[in-house]
Structure 1
Amino acid sequence: MRDKWSSNLGFILAASGSAIGLGNLWKFPYNTGSNGGGAFVLLYILFLVIIGIPLMLAAITLGRKTELSVFGAYRSIDKRWAFVGTLAIICGFIILAFYSTVGGWVIFYLKSAIVGDLSTTDSAYLNSLFDNLLNSPIELLSYQFIFMIATILIVLKGISGGIEKASKIMMPALFIMIIIIAVRSITLKGGIEGIEFLFVPDFSKINMNVAMNALGQVFFSISIGIGTMITYGSYLDKKDNLLSTATLIPVLDTIIAILAGLAILPAVFALGFEPTDGPKLMFVTLPAVFSSMPFGYFFSLLFFILVLFAALTSSISMLEVAVSYFVDEKGKKRVPTTIITGGFIFLLGVPSSLSLGAWSFKVLGNLNFFDLYDKLASNILLTTGAFLLAIFVGWVLTPEKAIEEIESSKIEFKLAKIWSLLIKYVVPIAIGIILVNSYIDFIKSVLGIE
């Protein structure tokens, strides 16, 4: 018998955990800092409502209607579209290969926080700590291996016994920890400047580039194109309310992103740091920020536990996409399939881990392995998968059949006509704009054009 979520709450927490990851905790604050603050946040929320939520509903509905893995979901309705499921599985492999690299960094930094190595405001020391990690192959691969083992152990237990149980612990803990850090950050002297930057929009900052970045943040944040929500939706009970579920997941995802902004930006402003430091915002700037605060050791430790939980709730969902394919479509046993698949992804991630240090050579254009995995998955496969999902639900499955599935739970979909219009026209056009820009960016990188 196919596994099911034991409760709708379990599904919501697991699905929210899948969406809530490293992108929320450093990319959202970084994007906000780089794109005009409140203006970016305003556009982000607008795009979430008109694009993110309709797409989320489409994915979960397709999954529950078919009760199959992402590959089987497309194939069962139209065999010609099975390739979209294949793209999603490949995308999951590649994303988890480089995501586990960063997951390994997080475990290293959690260890460093525990032993007190991050209790300093010396940016030169913190930069050298990060650089030394990237140039230590054994350490890099060891921590990446530990991260993958943790991911595998959770997925081994299945949906209700593994992913759901882990999410029920990690997600509430994540919320509590980020609220504590946010409260501390906004109460710092000078923190009000960061709050105003986050919430008071300067409309003069809005331009096409800011709009594209806000749309991209929504799109990548909810990670629809990877097939996770279709796979997770396939384990839902027919009585579960799809409308409230599909709305709540993006809302929770956005709340965490806003809380991450509140946890980081007021502290960064109050203590005179730069909010546009990209990856180093998490691994160099923030440890210095925490060390500048009273009880800095405690908040640094709390933050990296939080980041690890966010990373794991996303990684288990990516591994489940691949595992569910082999279990559902090939009739394989969950335990050996999970171990073999996780092991293969770890090996696939080895070049990614080493490419920022020992193997820093370019493999394609101006891309090293880490950048190649990132751009191929995020810019090409993820974007293409989400675009094809919108086309599939809007024109192949049809909104009428999707609405029938939604209302089978004895609920009335009052906004059905608006959703149909969005999923058939607005969402594909919006994602299509991102898709064109993503392909252009990827081609330029491959050709070595800056």
Structure 2
Amino acid sequence: MNREHWGSRFGFIMAAAGSAIGLGNVWRFPYVAGENGGGAFLLIYLAIIAVFGFSLAMTEIALGRATQRNPVGAFRQLGGRLWTPAGYLGVIAGFVILSFYCVVAGWTLAYIGFMARGLLGSTDPAVLGQSFEAFIGDPWIPLYYAAGFMALVVLVVSSGVGRGIERANKWLMPALFLLLLILLIRAVTLPGAGEGLRFLLMPDFSKVSGATFGAALAQAFFSLSLGMGCLLTYGSYLSRSTRIPTTTATVVGLDLLASLMAGMIVLPVVFSFGFDPSSGPGLTFVTLPAIFASMPGGAIFGVMFFLLLAIAALTSAISILEPAVAYFVDEYGYTRRRTVSICALVCLALAVPSSLSFGHWSGLKILDRSFFDLMDYTATNLMLPLGALLTSLFVGWRWAAGARREIFEGTGIAGIWISVWLLVLRFVAPAGLVWIFLASSGLL
């Protein structure tokens, strides 16, 4: 079977950026920055992305391009049966992540409609909080939206790499940045927005603690979609003429830009209206609708904001599903359309208990967590860090020579930078990932 490839370097960059830019950038980054002191967190986050994130992203892309296989096939080809479980981890992680990701993405679709119909007109966060709780607690409606979101993912992924994923991202990513720009201009022109910008851009190191470093590390890791085989799979469709370092730098730069723009939209708006920037996850679905209701033309900007969230969620969900699809197509010869449909149905089946854990099954606890929280914790705090750790150790110690040739041959990059990259893979990244494990288990 002939393997599909990206039609252009631009197509790959848009697809890879779409993989990286998701709810982690637009939904998670602003409230995590708000909870961790703003500017100091941002500075630490930038440093971690530049060193840790960039090195691991290059590594995953190189693994894919060198083998032209899915995560399981790539690790089996280069490392034998001993390393094959590292590939399976990425494939399984995709199902786990989409089981709760599509639920939250469904909320964003619903809120586009709620904003457009004027159903979120209250300026009282308490009232909006009750509305949000009632919505997510309904046994059926959130699942309809989750199913609608997955239908969009299936439509794109089943159409293939070039005609589906690449074509969709070529439209969706420019649209995403256009929405970011429009909302940014509106946010920074609000009265009092300067306080929010100062909070985000001016470091206050008195607010830095060990938890700040842990939060920045986890955010960088979550934002770039590392450890789940997405970039590896996308790399397997990449032409050998494409230079991995410069292409990866562009993708990481776009990811950083999206996070920064999202922060410069949300935090100035929050400060302008006197709300708490450390409101946590409810900042998006409770606090921001209250603010939009207080703004002239707020309904329009509210629709645009939740449309932005939905696009970010869609481009990431496409990439999360693709490793599993590539695995079944590569290893078993299944047709793409059949595989996409089956994988999507499995994810939707897992989404049912995730969604119901906010309502009818809210009392059901597994290891003191709801089903949604268990899936989130298992993927974000265990599976993805473990996947990234295994990838880092494998390339750093087992496949270092091959990776050096795949990434740096013919690029003219100085040997000292190659040595730094190898140092990060062998020591810095593993130490950081172990930090995430220890912090998430409460041992730090």
Which of the five TM-score ranges fits, normalised by the shorter chain? over 0.9
Aligned to 1:133: 135
Aligned to 1:387: 389
Could you tell me how far apart the structure 2 residues matched to 1:223 and 1:238 are?
23
Deviation for aligned residue 1:70: 0.7
- 1:112-131 matched pairs, under 5 angstroms: 112-131=114-133
Aligned to 1:231: 233
Aligned to 1:295: 297
- 1:20-31 matched pairs, under 5 angstroms: 20-31=21-32
4+ residue stretches of structure 1 with deviation over 4 A? none
What secondary structure does 2:83 align onto? Answer: helix
Deviations 1:146-180 (A, max 9, x none): 01111111100011111111111111110010111
Q: What percentage of residue pairs aligned between the two structures are identical?
A: 43
Deviations 1:1-25 (A, max 9, x none): 1111111111111111111111111
CA contact (8 A) 1:104 1:144 kept: yes
Deviation for aligned residue 1:123: 2.3
Deviations 1:288-341 (A, max 9, x none): 111222211110011111110000001111111110000011111101111111
Could you tell me how far apart the structure 2 residues matched to 1:313 and 1:427 are?
26
Match of residue 397, structure 1, among 378, 396, 399: 399
Could you tell me how far apart the structure 1 residues matched to 2:53 and 2:323 are?
20
Could you tell me how far apart the structure 1 residues matched to 2:386 and 2:210 are?
21
The one-letter amino acid of 2:35's match is S
- 1:269-288 matched pairs, under 5 angstroms: 269-288=271-290
Aligned to 2:14: 13
Deviation for aligned residue 1:365: 2.3
Aligned to 1:448: none
Aligned to 1:59: 60
1:337 aligned onto 2:363: no
What secondary structure does 2:15 align onto? Answer: helix
- 1:247-396 matched pairs, under 5 angstroms: 247-396=249-398
Q: Which runs of 5+ in 2 are unaligned?
A: none
Could you tell me how far apart the structure 2 residues matched to 1:13 and 1:118 are?
33
Aligned residues: 440
RMSD: 1.3
Deviation for aligned residue 1:240: 0.5
Aligned to 1:87: 89
Q: Which runs of 5+ in 1 are unaligned?
A: 445-450
TM-score (normalizing by structure 1): 0.95
Could you tell me how far apart the structure 2 residues matched to 1:17 and 1:251 are?
12
CA contact (8 A) 1:406 1:413 kept: no
The one-letter amino acid of 1:203's match is F
Could you tell me how far apart the structure 2 residues matched to 1:421 and 1:135 are?
48
Deviation for aligned residue 1:122: 2.9
TM-score (normalizing by structure 2): 0.97
Match of residue 181, structure 2, among 151, 164, 179: 179
Deviation for aligned residue 1:358: 1.1
Aligned to 1:447: none
Match of residue 202, structure 1, among 201, 204, 217: 204
What secondary structure does 1:363 align onto? Answer: coil
Could you tell me how far apart the structure 1 residues matched to 2:75 and 2:178 are?
38
What secondary structure does 1:23 align onto? Answer: helix
What secondary structure does 1:239 align onto? Answer: coil
Aligned to 2:5: 4
Could you tell me how far apart the structure 2 residues matched to 1:407 and 1:138 are?
52
Deviations 1:205-258 (A, max 9, x none): 122111111111111111211110100000000001101111121211111111
Could you tell me how far apart the structure 2 residues matched to 1:71 and 1:436 are?
27
Could you tell me how far apart the structure 2 residues matched to 1:54 and 1:171 are?
23
The one-letter amino acid of 2:411's match is I
Aligned to 1:46: 47
Deviation for aligned residue 1:390: 0.4
Aligned to 2:155: 153
The one-letter amino acid of 2:412's match is E
